[in-house]
Protein backbone atom coordinates (compact mmCIF):
# COMPACT_ATOMS: atom_id res chain seq x y z
CA UNK A 1 0.00 0.00 0.00
CA UNK A 2 1.16 3.51 -0.75
CA UNK A 3 1.64 6.17 1.93
CA UNK A 4 1.67 9.91 1.36
CA UNK A 5 3.36 12.11 3.97
CA UNK A 6 1.91 15.59 3.47
CA UNK A 7 3.17 19.10 4.27
CA UNK A 8 6.39 18.14 5.98
CA UNK A 9 9.74 19.94 6.03
CA UNK A 10 12.14 17.53 4.30
CA UNK A 11 15.73 17.34 5.49
CA UNK A 12 16.96 14.86 2.91
CA UNK A 13 20.68 14.74 3.90
CA UNK A 14 21.52 14.93 0.18
CA UNK A 15 24.70 16.88 -0.46
CA UNK A 16 24.07 20.65 -0.52
CA UNK A 17 20.26 20.26 -0.47
CA UNK A 18 18.58 22.66 1.95
CA UNK A 19 15.43 21.77 3.94
CA UNK A 20 12.25 22.34 1.96
CA UNK A 21 8.49 22.01 2.44
CA UNK A 22 6.99 19.15 0.48
CA UNK A 23 5.44 15.70 0.42
CA UNK A 24 6.85 12.17 0.35
CA UNK A 25 5.17 9.32 -1.52
CA UNK A 26 6.12 5.85 -0.30
CA UNK A 27 5.35 2.83 -2.48
CA UNK A 28 5.70 -0.42 -0.52
CA UNK A 29 9.28 -0.27 0.88
CA UNK A 30 10.69 2.58 -1.22
CA UNK A 31 10.44 6.32 -1.72
CA UNK A 32 8.65 6.88 -5.04
CA UNK A 33 8.42 10.66 -5.18
CA UNK A 34 9.36 13.77 -3.22
CA UNK A 35 8.14 17.28 -3.95
CA UNK A 36 5.44 19.87 -3.42
CA UNK A 37 1.72 19.18 -3.70
CA UNK A 38 1.90 15.45 -4.43
CA UNK A 39 -1.34 13.51 -4.82
CA UNK A 40 -2.00 9.79 -5.05
CA UNK A 41 -5.42 8.15 -5.15
CA UNK A 42 -5.89 5.51 -2.49
CA UNK A 43 -2.72 6.29 -0.58
CA UNK A 44 -2.75 6.33 3.21
CA UNK A 45 -2.16 9.96 4.21
CA UNK A 46 0.14 10.85 7.09
CA UNK A 47 -0.15 14.51 8.10
CA UNK A 48 3.24 16.09 8.60
CA UNK A 49 2.36 19.72 9.35
CA UNK A 50 4.74 21.15 11.94
CA UNK A 51 7.12 18.23 11.53
CA UNK A 52 10.50 17.58 9.96
CA UNK A 53 11.07 14.42 7.92
CA UNK A 54 14.62 13.09 7.84
CA UNK A 55 16.31 9.74 7.25
CA UNK A 56 16.06 7.37 10.18
CA UNK A 57 19.11 7.43 12.44
CA UNK A 58 21.58 4.57 12.10
CA UNK A 59 23.27 3.23 15.23
CA UNK A 60 26.56 1.85 13.92
CA UNK A 61 27.64 0.00 17.08
CA UNK A 62 25.36 -1.64 19.64
CA UNK A 63 25.02 -4.56 22.04
CA UNK A 64 21.22 -4.69 22.28
CA UNK A 65 20.68 -7.22 25.11
CA UNK A 66 22.76 -5.03 27.43
CA UNK A 67 19.71 -2.80 27.80
CA UNK A 68 18.76 -5.11 30.68
CA UNK A 69 21.88 -3.85 32.48
CA UNK A 70 21.51 -0.10 31.99
CA UNK A 71 22.33 2.02 35.06
CA UNK A 72 23.49 -1.12 36.88
CA UNK A 73 27.21 -0.35 36.84
CA UNK A 74 27.72 3.35 36.25
CA UNK A 75 30.54 5.54 37.59
CA UNK A 76 33.12 2.75 37.67
CA UNK A 77 36.51 2.39 36.03
CA UNK A 78 36.33 0.38 32.84
CA UNK A 79 37.89 -2.86 34.08
CA UNK A 80 35.86 -2.77 37.32
CA UNK A 81 32.74 -2.08 35.26
CA UNK A 82 33.55 -5.04 33.02
CA UNK A 83 34.98 -7.64 35.43
CA UNK A 84 32.93 -6.98 38.57
CA UNK A 85 29.57 -6.09 37.06
CA UNK A 86 28.95 -6.64 33.36
CA UNK A 87 30.59 -10.02 32.75
CA UNK A 88 29.08 -11.74 35.82
CA UNK A 89 25.61 -10.44 34.88
CA UNK A 90 26.01 -11.39 31.23
CA UNK A 91 27.08 -14.90 32.24
CA UNK A 92 23.59 -15.33 33.71
CA UNK A 93 21.80 -14.35 30.51
CA UNK A 94 19.59 -16.98 28.87
CA UNK A 95 18.46 -16.97 25.26
CA UNK A 96 15.11 -15.61 26.44
CA UNK A 97 16.84 -12.76 28.30
CA UNK A 98 18.68 -11.83 25.11
CA UNK A 99 15.43 -11.84 23.12
CA UNK A 100 13.66 -9.53 25.59
CA UNK A 101 16.70 -7.32 26.09
CA UNK A 102 16.84 -6.84 22.34
CA UNK A 103 13.16 -5.91 22.23
CA UNK A 104 13.70 -3.40 25.04
CA UNK A 105 16.54 -1.81 23.07
CA UNK A 106 14.45 -1.73 19.91
CA UNK A 107 11.56 -0.07 21.73
CA UNK A 108 13.90 2.67 22.92
CA UNK A 109 15.57 3.03 19.53
CA UNK A 110 12.29 3.28 17.61
CA UNK A 111 10.94 5.83 20.09
CA UNK A 112 14.07 7.96 19.66
CA UNK A 113 14.26 7.85 15.86
CA UNK A 114 16.71 5.01 15.16
CA UNK A 115 15.66 2.78 12.28
CA UNK A 116 18.83 0.67 11.83
CA UNK A 117 21.44 -0.73 14.20
CA UNK A 118 24.65 -2.76 14.02
CA UNK A 119 24.73 -5.37 16.76
CA UNK A 120 27.46 -7.62 18.16
CA UNK A 121 26.53 -10.25 20.73
CA UNK A 122 25.81 -13.97 21.24
CA UNK A 123 22.68 -16.08 20.62
CA UNK A 124 22.11 -14.15 17.43
CA UNK A 125 19.13 -16.25 16.33
CA UNK A 126 17.14 -14.72 19.19
CA UNK A 127 18.20 -11.22 18.19
CA UNK A 128 17.39 -11.89 14.52
CA UNK A 129 13.95 -13.25 15.40
CA UNK A 130 13.23 -10.11 17.42
CA UNK A 131 14.27 -7.96 14.44
CA UNK A 132 11.96 -9.95 12.14
CA UNK A 133 9.01 -9.43 14.51
CA UNK A 134 9.57 -5.75 15.24
CA UNK A 135 10.47 -4.55 11.75
CA UNK A 136 13.72 -2.65 12.27
CA UNK A 137 16.73 -2.87 9.97
CA UNK A 138 19.86 -4.46 11.44
CA UNK A 139 23.40 -5.59 10.72
CA UNK A 140 23.99 -8.59 12.99
CA UNK A 141 27.33 -9.91 14.18
CA UNK A 142 28.22 -12.88 16.38
CA UNK A 143 31.03 -11.62 18.62
CA UNK A 144 34.13 -13.83 18.46
CA UNK A 145 36.56 -14.11 21.37
CA UNK A 146 39.40 -16.59 20.88
CA UNK A 147 41.06 -16.58 24.31
CA UNK A 148 39.83 -20.08 25.18
CA UNK A 149 39.51 -23.14 22.94
CA UNK A 150 35.82 -23.83 22.34
CA UNK A 151 36.27 -26.42 19.59
CA UNK A 152 35.27 -23.92 16.93
CA UNK A 153 31.77 -23.38 18.35
CA UNK A 154 31.80 -19.58 18.15
CA UNK A 155 33.02 -19.55 14.58
CA UNK A 156 30.38 -22.12 13.58
CA UNK A 157 27.72 -19.89 15.11
CA UNK A 158 29.09 -16.90 13.18
CA UNK A 159 28.95 -18.84 9.92
CA UNK A 160 25.42 -20.00 10.76
CA UNK A 161 24.37 -16.37 11.25
CA UNK A 162 25.73 -15.36 7.85
CA UNK A 163 24.30 -18.36 6.00
CA UNK A 164 20.83 -18.24 7.57
CA UNK A 165 20.17 -14.55 8.11
CA UNK A 166 22.06 -12.45 5.54
CA UNK A 167 19.38 -10.80 3.40
CA UNK A 168 16.51 -12.12 5.52
CA UNK A 169 13.40 -10.24 6.67
CA UNK A 170 12.71 -8.63 3.29
CA UNK A 171 16.36 -7.64 3.15
CA UNK A 172 16.25 -5.77 6.45
CA UNK A 173 18.85 -8.07 8.02
CA UNK A 174 22.46 -8.07 6.87
CA UNK A 175 25.38 -9.72 8.66
CA UNK A 176 29.05 -9.26 9.44
CA UNK A 177 31.79 -11.38 10.95
CA UNK A 178 32.73 -10.12 14.39
CA UNK A 179 36.20 -10.76 15.81
CA UNK A 180 35.80 -8.96 19.11
CA UNK A 181 39.03 -6.94 19.34
CA UNK A 182 42.77 -7.18 18.68
CA UNK A 183 43.51 -8.18 22.29
CA UNK A 184 41.00 -11.07 22.22
CA UNK A 185 41.89 -12.38 18.77
CA UNK A 186 45.39 -13.89 18.24
CA UNK A 187 46.87 -13.67 14.72
CA UNK A 188 46.01 -17.22 13.60
CA UNK A 189 42.34 -16.88 14.56
CA UNK A 190 41.97 -13.34 13.27
CA UNK A 191 43.59 -14.27 9.95
CA UNK A 192 41.12 -17.14 9.61
CA UNK A 193 38.17 -14.77 10.11
CA UNK A 194 39.59 -12.20 7.67
CA UNK A 195 39.96 -14.85 4.96
CA UNK A 196 36.48 -16.17 5.67
CA UNK A 197 34.97 -12.69 5.38
CA UNK A 198 36.93 -11.92 2.23
CA UNK A 199 35.95 -15.17 0.50
CA UNK A 200 32.26 -14.63 1.26
CA UNK A 201 32.29 -10.87 0.62
CA UNK A 202 30.94 -10.24 4.12
CA UNK A 203 32.12 -7.20 6.15
CA UNK A 204 33.93 -7.36 9.49
CA UNK A 205 32.82 -5.54 12.66
CA UNK A 206 35.56 -5.23 15.32
CA UNK A 207 36.38 -3.08 18.36
CA UNK A 208 39.58 -1.06 18.02
CA UNK A 209 41.66 1.03 20.45
CA UNK A 210 38.86 1.82 22.88
CA UNK A 211 41.19 2.12 25.89
CA UNK A 212 44.79 2.88 26.79
CA UNK A 213 45.00 -0.60 28.34
CA UNK A 214 44.34 -2.19 24.96
CA UNK A 215 47.12 -0.18 23.35
CA UNK A 216 49.56 -1.24 26.09
CA UNK A 217 48.55 -4.93 25.81
CA UNK A 218 49.10 -5.06 22.06
CA UNK A 219 52.33 -3.06 22.26
CA UNK A 220 53.71 -5.40 24.93
CA UNK A 221 52.72 -8.53 23.01
CA UNK A 222 53.38 -7.60 19.37
CA UNK A 223 55.36 -4.33 19.52
CA UNK A 224 52.64 -2.69 17.44
CA UNK A 225 49.67 -0.44 18.00
CA UNK A 226 46.28 -2.21 17.71
CA UNK A 227 45.80 -0.52 14.32
CA UNK A 228 49.20 -1.67 13.07
CA UNK A 229 48.36 -5.17 14.26
CA UNK A 230 45.21 -5.24 12.14
CA UNK A 231 46.87 -3.54 9.20
CA UNK A 232 49.72 -6.05 8.97
CA UNK A 233 47.23 -8.93 9.08
CA UNK A 234 45.63 -7.47 5.96
CA UNK A 235 42.29 -6.53 7.47
CA UNK A 236 41.87 -3.16 5.78
CA UNK A 237 42.74 -4.30 2.26
CA UNK A 238 40.79 -7.56 2.17
CA UNK A 239 37.26 -6.60 3.18
CA UNK A 240 34.83 -3.88 4.23
CA UNK A 241 35.46 -3.08 7.91
CA UNK A 242 33.43 -1.40 10.66
CA UNK A 243 35.79 -0.30 13.45
CA UNK A 244 34.09 0.49 16.76
CA UNK A 245 35.54 3.33 18.89
CA UNK A 246 38.99 4.21 17.51
CA UNK A 247 39.75 6.41 20.51
CA UNK A 248 43.50 5.90 20.71
CA UNK A 249 44.77 6.37 17.17
CA UNK A 250 47.97 8.25 16.41
CA UNK A 251 48.78 9.95 13.11
CA UNK A 252 50.44 6.83 11.71
CA UNK A 253 47.43 4.70 12.69
CA UNK A 254 45.12 7.05 10.85
CA UNK A 255 47.31 6.80 7.74
CA UNK A 256 46.77 3.02 7.79
CA UNK A 257 42.99 3.56 7.68
CA UNK A 258 43.09 5.99 4.76
CA UNK A 259 41.30 4.51 1.76
CA UNK A 260 39.71 1.64 3.70
CA UNK A 261 36.30 0.30 2.79
CA UNK A 262 34.06 1.08 5.74
CA UNK A 263 35.26 3.29 8.56
CA UNK A 264 34.95 4.07 12.26
CA UNK A 265 31.87 4.05 14.51
CA UNK A 266 32.43 6.84 17.03
CA UNK A 267 30.69 6.24 20.41
CA UNK A 268 31.14 9.55 22.23
CA UNK A 269 28.68 9.07 25.11
CA UNK A 270 30.01 5.65 26.11
CA UNK A 271 33.61 6.84 25.76
CA UNK A 272 32.86 9.87 27.93
CA UNK A 273 31.03 7.94 30.65
CA UNK A 274 33.79 5.36 30.95
CA UNK A 275 36.46 8.05 30.89
CA UNK A 276 38.14 6.46 27.88
CA UNK A 277 39.00 9.58 25.92
CA UNK A 278 38.10 11.58 22.82
CA UNK A 279 38.48 9.93 19.43
CA UNK A 280 40.40 11.93 16.77
CA UNK A 281 37.32 12.38 14.62
CA UNK A 282 38.45 15.52 12.83
CA UNK A 283 41.80 14.00 11.85
CA UNK A 284 40.10 10.91 10.49
CA UNK A 285 37.59 12.93 8.49
CA UNK A 286 40.39 15.16 7.17
CA UNK A 287 41.99 12.01 5.74
CA UNK A 288 38.75 10.98 4.03
CA UNK A 289 37.91 8.24 6.54
CA UNK A 290 34.18 7.71 7.07
CA UNK A 291 33.15 8.29 10.69
CA UNK A 292 29.65 7.31 11.76
CA UNK A 293 28.00 7.13 15.17
CA UNK A 294 26.95 4.42 17.60
CA UNK A 295 25.78 4.30 21.18
CA UNK A 296 27.62 1.15 22.28
CA UNK A 297 25.53 -0.98 24.63
CA UNK A 298 23.19 0.57 27.19
CA UNK A 299 25.34 -1.05 29.88
CA UNK A 300 27.91 1.67 29.26
CA UNK A 301 26.04 4.44 27.44
CA UNK A 302 22.83 4.10 29.55
CA UNK A 303 20.88 5.88 26.81
CA UNK A 304 20.35 4.65 23.24
CA UNK A 305 19.17 8.07 22.04
CA UNK A 306 21.22 8.76 18.91
CA UNK A 307 20.41 12.45 19.08
CA UNK A 308 22.54 12.55 22.23
CA UNK A 309 25.42 10.98 20.28
CA UNK A 310 25.03 13.60 17.55
CA UNK A 311 25.30 16.39 20.14
CA UNK A 312 28.21 14.79 21.96
CA UNK A 313 30.13 14.08 18.75
CA UNK A 314 29.97 17.72 17.67
CA UNK A 315 30.58 19.28 21.07
CA UNK A 316 33.54 17.06 21.94
CA UNK A 317 35.47 17.97 18.82
CA UNK A 318 34.66 21.68 19.23
CA UNK A 319 35.95 21.52 22.80
CA UNK A 320 39.01 19.44 21.95
CA UNK A 321 40.09 21.88 19.24
CA UNK A 322 38.83 25.04 20.90
CA UNK A 323 37.08 25.78 17.62
CA UNK A 324 33.27 26.09 17.28
CA UNK A 325 33.54 25.56 13.53
CA UNK A 326 34.76 21.96 13.87
CA UNK A 327 32.04 19.35 13.11
CA UNK A 328 29.19 21.72 12.16
CA UNK A 329 25.57 20.66 12.62
CA UNK A 330 25.14 19.27 9.10
CA UNK A 331 28.24 17.08 9.49
CA UNK A 332 27.07 15.76 12.86
CA UNK A 333 23.71 14.82 11.34
CA UNK A 334 25.46 13.12 8.44
CA UNK A 335 27.48 11.06 10.91
CA UNK A 336 24.25 9.67 12.39
CA UNK A 337 22.64 8.96 9.02
CA UNK A 338 24.48 8.55 5.72
CA UNK A 339 27.96 8.07 7.21
CA UNK A 340 26.70 5.30 9.47
CA UNK A 341 24.92 3.75 6.48
CA UNK A 342 28.27 3.64 4.70
CA UNK A 343 29.83 1.83 7.66
CA UNK A 344 27.12 -0.85 7.51
CA UNK A 345 27.63 -1.11 3.73
CA UNK A 346 23.97 -0.26 3.11
CA UNK A 347 24.35 3.33 1.90
CA UNK A 348 22.97 2.30 -1.49
CA UNK A 349 19.64 1.72 0.29
CA UNK A 350 19.35 4.10 3.26
CA UNK A 351 20.83 7.18 4.92
CA UNK A 352 19.37 9.78 2.53
CA UNK A 353 15.81 10.63 1.51
CA UNK A 354 15.68 10.33 -2.27
CA UNK A 355 13.71 8.51 -4.93
CA UNK A 356 14.55 4.82 -5.06
CA UNK A 357 15.94 4.59 -1.52
CA UNK A 358 14.26 2.48 1.13
CA UNK A 359 11.56 4.32 3.04
CA UNK A 360 13.32 4.59 6.41
CA UNK A 361 11.92 7.91 7.60
CA UNK A 362 11.35 9.65 10.91
CA UNK A 363 9.02 12.56 11.60
CA UNK A 364 10.04 14.99 14.33
CA UNK A 365 7.51 17.27 16.05
CA UNK A 366 9.10 20.72 15.91
CA UNK A 367 6.22 22.57 17.59
CA UNK A 368 7.80 22.58 21.05
CA UNK A 369 9.27 25.37 23.20
CA UNK A 370 12.82 24.04 22.94
CA UNK A 371 12.52 23.85 19.14
CA UNK A 372 11.00 27.27 18.43
CA UNK A 373 11.92 29.46 16.54
CA UNK A 374 13.19 27.72 13.39
CA UNK A 375 16.13 29.92 12.43
CA UNK A 376 18.27 26.96 11.36
CA UNK A 377 16.67 23.52 11.22
CA UNK A 378 19.93 21.61 10.94
CA UNK A 379 21.23 23.29 14.10
CA UNK A 380 18.00 22.49 15.94
CA UNK A 381 18.17 18.86 14.86
CA UNK A 382 21.80 18.48 15.88
CA UNK A 383 21.85 20.52 19.09
CA UNK A 384 18.32 20.74 20.51
CA UNK A 385 16.16 17.79 19.36
CA UNK A 386 16.05 14.72 21.58
CA UNK A 387 14.58 11.28 21.01
CA UNK A 388 11.36 12.22 22.74
CA UNK A 389 10.59 14.66 19.94
CA UNK A 390 10.21 11.85 17.38
CA UNK A 391 6.54 11.39 16.52
CA UNK A 392 6.65 8.74 13.77
CA UNK A 393 9.18 6.07 12.78
CA UNK A 394 8.95 4.23 9.44
CA UNK A 395 11.21 1.37 8.33
CA UNK A 396 11.03 -0.27 4.91
CA UNK A 397 7.79 1.60 4.33
CA UNK A 398 6.14 0.16 7.45
CA UNK A 399 5.06 2.44 10.29
CA UNK A 400 6.63 1.16 13.53
CA UNK A 401 5.55 4.12 15.65
CA UNK A 402 2.97 6.85 15.13
CA UNK A 403 1.92 9.59 17.54
CA UNK A 404 4.61 8.07 19.82
CA UNK A 405 2.71 4.78 20.04
CA UNK A 406 4.67 1.64 19.20
CA UNK A 407 2.75 -0.43 16.66
CA UNK A 408 4.88 -3.59 16.39
CA UNK A 409 5.93 -3.97 20.04
CA UNK A 410 3.76 -4.65 23.07
CA UNK A 411 5.46 -1.98 25.14
CA UNK A 412 3.79 -2.98 28.41
CA UNK A 413 4.91 -6.61 28.04
CA UNK A 414 8.46 -5.60 27.13
CA UNK A 415 8.73 -3.35 30.18
CA UNK A 416 7.39 -6.10 32.43
CA UNK A 417 9.77 -8.74 31.06
CA UNK A 418 12.73 -6.38 31.29
CA UNK A 419 11.98 -5.46 34.90
CA UNK A 420 11.67 -9.07 36.06
CA UNK A 421 14.65 -10.39 34.12
CA UNK A 422 17.01 -7.56 35.03
CA UNK A 423 16.47 -8.17 38.74
CA UNK A 424 17.48 -11.81 38.38
CA UNK A 425 20.54 -10.94 36.30
CA UNK A 426 21.90 -8.43 38.78
CA UNK A 427 20.89 -9.97 42.13
CA UNK A 428 23.82 -10.00 44.52
CA UNK A 429 26.32 -8.40 42.13
Do 375 and 332 share a structural domain?
no
**Strand, helix or coil for residue 258:** coil
| Cβ within 8 Å of residue 393, ≥6 positions away | 56, 110, 111, 113, 115, 362, 363, 399, 400, 401
Residue-level pLDDT at 380: 98
* pLDDT tier, 407 (very low <50, low <70, confident <90, very high otherwise): very high
pLDDT tens digit sequence for 12-34: 999 989 999 999 999 999 999 99
Residue-level pLDDT at 113: 98
Between 82 and 17, residue with greater pLDDT? 17
- Residue 110 domain-assigned (yes or no): yes
- Residue 426 domain-assigned (yes or no): no
Residue-level pLDDT at 185: 97
The candidate with the shortest Cα–Cα distance to 262, out of 291, 234, 285, is 291
- Residue 419 domain-assigned (yes or no): no
Distance between CA atoms of 397 and 332, rounded to whole angstroms?
25
Do 165 and 78 share a structural domain?
yes
pLDDT at 73 over 90: no
Percent of the chain with pLDDT over 70: 100
Backbone angles phi, psi at 135, to 5 degrees: 105, 5
For 395, the enclosing helix (H) or strand (E) is strand 390-395
Burial of 148 per CB tally in 10 Å (0-12, 13-18, 19+): exposed
pLDDT tens digit sequence for 192-215: 999 999 999 999 999 999 999 999
Residue-level pLDDT at 79: 77
Do 192 and 72 share a structural domain?
yes
Per the DSSP assignment, residues forming a β-bridge with 26 are 3, 31
Do 69 and 38 share a structural domain?
no
Q: What is the CATH number of the domain that holds 31?
A: 2.30.40.10
Q: Which residues of 351-369 are buried (b: 16+ CB within 10 A; e: fewer)?
A: bbbeeebbbbbbbbbbeee
- Residue 355 domain-assigned (yes or no): no
DSSP 58-94: EEEEE-GGGGGGTTSS-SS-HHHIIIIIIHHHHHT--
pLDDT at 368 over 90: yes
Q: What is the 3-state secondary structure (H, E, C) of 286-354?
A: HCCCEEEECCCCHHHHCCCCHHHHHHHHHHHHHHHHCCCCCCCHHHHHHHCCHHHHHHCCCCCCCCCCC
Do 266 and 168 share a structural domain?
yes
Do 386 and 308 share a structural domain?
no
Do 398 and 278 share a structural domain?
no
Query: What is the domain range of residue 280?
Result: 57-343
Do 123 and 30 share a structural domain?
no
- Residue 351 domain-assigned (yes or no): no
pLDDT tens digit sequence for 130-186: 999 999 999 999 999 998 888 899 999 999 999 999 999 999 999 999 999 999 999
Q: Are the C-beta atoms of residues 69 and 425 closer than 8 Å to each other?
A: yes
pLDDT at 1 over 90: no
Do 206 and 126 share a structural domain?
yes
For 138, the enclosing helix (H) or strand (E) is strand 137-144
Do 207 and 96 share a structural domain?
yes
Residue-level pLDDT at 9: 98
Average pLDDT over residues 54-82: 92
Residue-level pLDDT at 78: 75
Which of 316, 343, 370 corresponds to the end of one domain?
A: 343
pLDDT tens digit sequence for 287-344: 999 999 999 999 999 999 999 999 999 999 999 999 999 999 999 999 999 999 999 9
pLDDT at 101 over 80: yes
pLDDT tens digit sequence for 315-325: 999 999 999 99
- Residue 425 domain-assigned (yes or no): no
| Cβ within 8 Å of residue 57, ≥6 positions away | 112, 113, 114, 115, 116, 306, 307, 336, 337, 340, 362
Residue-level pLDDT at 71: 92
- C-alpha triplet 419, 424, 426: angle, nearest 5°: 95
Do 195 and 110 share a structural domain?
yes
* pLDDT tier, 91 (very low <50, low <70, confident <90, very high otherwise): very high
pLDDT at 80 over 90: no
pLDDT tens digit sequence for 212-227: 999 999 999 999 999 9
Do 194 and 79 share a structural domain?
yes
Q: What is the CATH number of the domain that holds 247?
A: 3.20.20.140
Q: Is the pTM of this model over 0.85?
A: yes
Residue-level pLDDT at 242: 98
| Average pLDDT value for the chain | 97
- Residue 352 domain-assigned (yes or no): no
| Cβ within 8 Å of residue 423, ≥6 positions away | none
- Residue 422 domain-assigned (yes or no): no
Number of domains forming the structure of the chain: 2
**Strand, helix or coil for residue 283:** helix
Amino acid sequence: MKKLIKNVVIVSMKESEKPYLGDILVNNDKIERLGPDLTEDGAEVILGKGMVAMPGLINAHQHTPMSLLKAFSDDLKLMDWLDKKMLPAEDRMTKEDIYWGTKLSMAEMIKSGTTTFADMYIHMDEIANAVVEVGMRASLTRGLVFLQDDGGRRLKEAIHLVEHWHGAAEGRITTMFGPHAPYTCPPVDLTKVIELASSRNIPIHIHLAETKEEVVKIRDKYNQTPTEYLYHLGLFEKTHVLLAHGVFLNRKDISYLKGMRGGVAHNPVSNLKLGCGIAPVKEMMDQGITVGLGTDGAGSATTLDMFEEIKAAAWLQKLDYGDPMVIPAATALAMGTKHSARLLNIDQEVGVLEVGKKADIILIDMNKPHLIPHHNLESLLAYAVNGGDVDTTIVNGKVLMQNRQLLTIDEEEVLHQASVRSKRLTAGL
